[in-house]
């Protein structure tokens, strides 16, 4: 993916607020501002997606539905069988599911990290039960 560099002038109070926000999340200015811009873009373009607080920071989720990593894990099994997916999750709207898949296509790293962790924990549980 290509990237672009932006320079931004901010009032001092906003610079302070942003730097404090980034520090709370363990981010530098570039990483933190990229996250803020991505969250803005998602809110503007994918209205069925929201961010929920967790112990590891904000996580993308479907409004009135599962976190996106959980949805994508099941979507990988069902493919584009949105009727089956909707039944599996108790009646999710198709537009919400399509937006979840779109989010994954734009930001796969945000989801794949959780999928890898889930797989790692599953392996540990299987090893301990063997």
pLDDT (tens, 9 = 90+) of the chain, 130 residues, equals 678 888 889 999 999 999 999 998 889 999 999 999 999 999 999 999 999 988 877 899 999 899 999 999 999 999 889 999 999 999 999 999 999 999 999 999 989 988 998 888 888 898 888 7
State phi, psi for 88 to the nearest 5 degrees.
-55, -40
- pTM, full prediction: 0.84
pLDDT score for 80 = 87
pLDDT score for 1 = 64
User: Domain segments of the chain: what residues?
Assistant: 46-129
Let me know: does 83 contact 95? Beta carbons within 8 Å.
Answer: no
Let me know: does 44 contact 97? Beta carbons within 8 Å.
Answer: no
State phi, psi for 111 to the nearest 5 degrees.
-95, -45
Beta strands in 5-45 (DSSP E): none
CB atoms within 10 A of CB 86: 16
The residues, any chain, with a CB within 8 Å of residue 48's CB and separated by 6 or more, are 62, 63, 93, 95, 96, 99, 100
Let me know: does 97 contact 88? Beta carbons within 8 Å.
Answer: no
State phi, psi for 54 to the nearest 5 degrees.
-145, 180
């Amino acid at each position: 993916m290509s990237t672009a560099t932006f320079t931004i002038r901010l009032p001092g109070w906003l610079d302070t607020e942003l730097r404090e926000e980034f520090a709370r999340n363990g981010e530098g200015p570039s990483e933190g501002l990229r996250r803020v811009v991505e969250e803005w873009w998602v809110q503007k373009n994918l209205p069925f997606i929201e961010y929920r607080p967790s112990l590891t920071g904000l996580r993308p989720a479907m409004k009135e539905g599962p976190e996106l990593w959980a949805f994508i894990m099941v979507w990988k099994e069902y493919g584009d069988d949105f009727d089956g997916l909707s039944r599996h999750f108790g009646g999710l709207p198709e537009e919400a599911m399509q937006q979840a898949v779109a989010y994954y296509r734009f930001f796969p790293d945000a989801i794949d990290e959780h999928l890898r962790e889930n797989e790692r924990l599953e392996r540990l549980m299987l090893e301990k039960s063997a």
